[in-house]
Amino acid sequence: MERNNQLQRQVALMRQSLFDQGYLDEQFVQLEELQDDTNPNFVEEVVTLYYRDSARLIASIEQALDKSPLDFNKLDSYMHQFKGSSSSIGGRKVKTECSQFREYCRTGNGEG
Amino acid sequence: MGAAAEPRFHVLAVDDSLVDRKLIERLLKISSYQVTTVDSGSKALEFLGSLVNDDRSSSDALPSVSPSDHQGVDVNLIITDYCMPGMTGYDLLKKVKESSSLRDIPVVIMSSENVPSRITRCLEEGAEEFILKPVRLSDVNKLRPHMMRTKKLKDQEQESQEEPERHGDEIGLPPPPCQHELETQQSQDPQTQQIQQSQQPKSGNNSNKRKAIDVEEGLSPDRTRTRYNGVATF
């Protein structure tokens, strides 16, 4: 039991630090609130979907980055999707990075 | 789920993003709505088409049939993402409003981008509300009045389906593609001005961001903060 408590405390700390470091925002709390006894794994399900989705998007983005010249429109479109889903689950940091990426796309900044 | 004793509202959710579909489905279910999700506008129309007996293209030929006469399926609200490949949420909105059998169904648009001209255009086209993503429970709570109102109207014939939301008359821009729209932002009428304010990272004009016209100011300020994280770069 002690072990359980310890683990729970660790998880709680980790979770808090994700918020503190800006990886997660209030939207994640929304997700947590949608979880209940009738849907006990909701957060896990959504995040799993998100990872799968993101992996696919990232692969597409990597492919697109290999091309020359860069198709900024396509990249921007991928980023839009990535940003959207990140925002929906509360992935604040990712969302911010996506915005930055899109800025580069907008200005045609391949180096960025 | 077993059949509910009282009639439940049925919402059709349209979004090409799997994550968003899952989220909106859960939000709607937890609010006790019956939910159908589809991933495109065309699939949405297909589904809606199954509500009416005849082809929806000859919308004028059809009398205003109440969907409950057919198939036992009924849709009380359509909530759709704006940016979708192929048919955008705006296109879907137009199609629904052009159909005599579907036009009474309230349509709500969701978008991750706070673009005043987009918002206005959708509202002009007949959308009940424009919701900024990420969607939250409080957004879903706002949907109920629209569904109730339409249900009542169905019973009493169309009367003052007066939308105080309608405003802005001169914005005749064709719906630009999603990612390039930001370049065409411009303040056009007084309402848009209000919305423009929300672009700046400050103040509590949250209600204007959510929808161009507000029915009540019920939004809590903390939402504004999250919002700006996303729109800061715009």
B172 in a domain, yes or no? no
Q: What total number of domains does chain B contain?
A: 2
Residue B57 predicted with pLDDT over 60: no
Residue B129 predicted with pLDDT over 90: yes
The verdict on B48 and B116 lying in the same domain is yes
B214 in a domain, yes or no? yes
Question: Of the ranges B77-86, B102-111, B183-192, which one carries the lowest mean pLDDT score?
Answer: B183-192
**A33 vs B232: which has the higher pLDDT:** A33
Question: Of the ranges B15-19, B72-76, B157-161, B215-219, which one carries the lowest mean pLDDT score?
Answer: B215-219
Nearest to B19 among A76, A85, A100 (CB): A85
| CA–CA separation, B36 and B10 (whole Å) | 8
> In which domain, by residue range, is B230 found?
196-234
The verdict on B46 and B122 lying in the same domain is yes
Q: Write the DSSP assignment of chain B as a string of letters.
A: -PPPSS---EEEEE-S-HHHHHHHHHHHHHTT-EEEEESSHHHHHHHHHTTSSS-GGGTTTS----GGGSTT----EEEEES--SSS-HHHHHHHHHH-TTTTTS-EEEEESS--HHHHHHHHHHT-SEEEESSP-HHHHHTTHHHHHHHHHHHHH-S-----TT------------GGGGGGG----SHHHHHHHHTTSS-SSTHHHHH-SS-S-----THHHHHHHHHHTT-
Q: For residue B87, give the CATH number of its domain.
A: 3.40.50.2300
B202 in a domain, yes or no? yes
The verdict on B140 and B211 lying in the same domain is no
Mark yes or no for CB contact A46/B135 under 8 Å. no
Residue B6 predicted with pLDDT over 50: yes
The verdict on B203 and B102 lying in the same domain is no
The verdict on B87 and B145 lying in the same domain is yes
The mean per-residue pLDDT over the stretch B102-108 comes to 93
Question: Of the ranges A97-111, B42-56, B148-162, B204-218, which one carries the lowest mean pLDDT score?
Answer: B204-218
ipTM above 0.90, yes or no: no
The verdict on B200 and B142 lying in the same domain is no
Single out the residue of B160, B158, B186 nearest to residue B173, CA to CA. Answer: B186
State the pLDDT at residue B119: 94
**A110 vs A22: which has the higher pLDDT:** A22
The verdict on B16 and B130 lying in the same domain is yes
B219 in a domain, yes or no? yes
Chain B positions touching A88 (Cβ under 8 A) are 17, 19-20, 23, 133-135
Domain boundary among the residues B138, B154, B170 is at B154
The chain-wide mean pLDDT, for chain B, equals 71
Chain B CB within 8 Å of residue A80 CB? yes
**B4 vs B153: which has the higher pLDDT:** B153
The mean per-residue pLDDT over the stretch A75-103 comes to 91
B210 in a domain, yes or no? yes
The verdict on B150 and B231 lying in the same domain is no
The verdict on B141 and B217 lying in the same domain is no
Which pTM does this prediction carry?
0.70
In a 10 Å sphere around its CB, with 0-12 CB exposed, 13-18 middle and 19+ buried, how is residue B135 labelled? buried
Quick one: three-class SS letters along chain A? CHHHHHHHHHHHHHHHHHHHCCCECHHHHHHHHCCECCECCHHHHHHHHHHHHHHHHHHHHHHHHHCCCCCHHHHHHHHHHHHHHHHHHCEHHHHHHHHHHHHHHHHCCCCC
> Of chain A residues 1-20, which have a CB less than 8 A from chain B?
none
Smallest CA–CA distance from B25 into chain A, residue? A34
The verdict on B144 and B90 lying in the same domain is yes
Euclidean distance between the first and the last CA atom of chain B, given in angstroms as a whole number: 43
Nearest to B233 among A27, A39, A99 (CB): A99
Q: Which distant-in-sequence residues (6+ apart) come within 8 Å of A17 by Cβ?
A: none
B28 in a domain, yes or no? yes
The chain-wide mean pLDDT, for chain A, equals 91
Domain boundary among the residues B123, B154, B185 is at B154
The verdict on B144 and B33 lying in the same domain is yes
* Interior/surface letters A19-42, b for 16+ CB within 10 angstroms, e for the rest: eeeeebbbbbebbeebbeeeeeeb
B2 in a domain, yes or no? no
CA atoms lying within 13 Å on the CB side of residue A12:
6
Chain B CB within 8 Å of residue A32 CB? no
B127 in a domain, yes or no? yes
Chain A CB within 8 Å of residue B229 CB? yes
Nearest to B19 among A26, A30, A88 (CB): A88
| CA–CA separation, B218 and B164 (whole Å) | 17
B70 neighbors B51 (Cβ within 8 angstroms): yes
The verdict on B21 and B122 lying in the same domain is yes
Mark yes or no for CB contact B22/A95 under 8 Å. no
CA torsion, ordered B216, B36, B13, A92, to nearest 10 deg: 90
Single out the residue of A28, A87, A91, A81 nearest to residue A59, CA to CA. Answer: A81
Domain boundary among the residues B96, B125, B154 is at B154
Chain B CB within 8 Å of residue A33 CB? yes
The mean per-residue pLDDT over the stretch B158-179 comes to 49
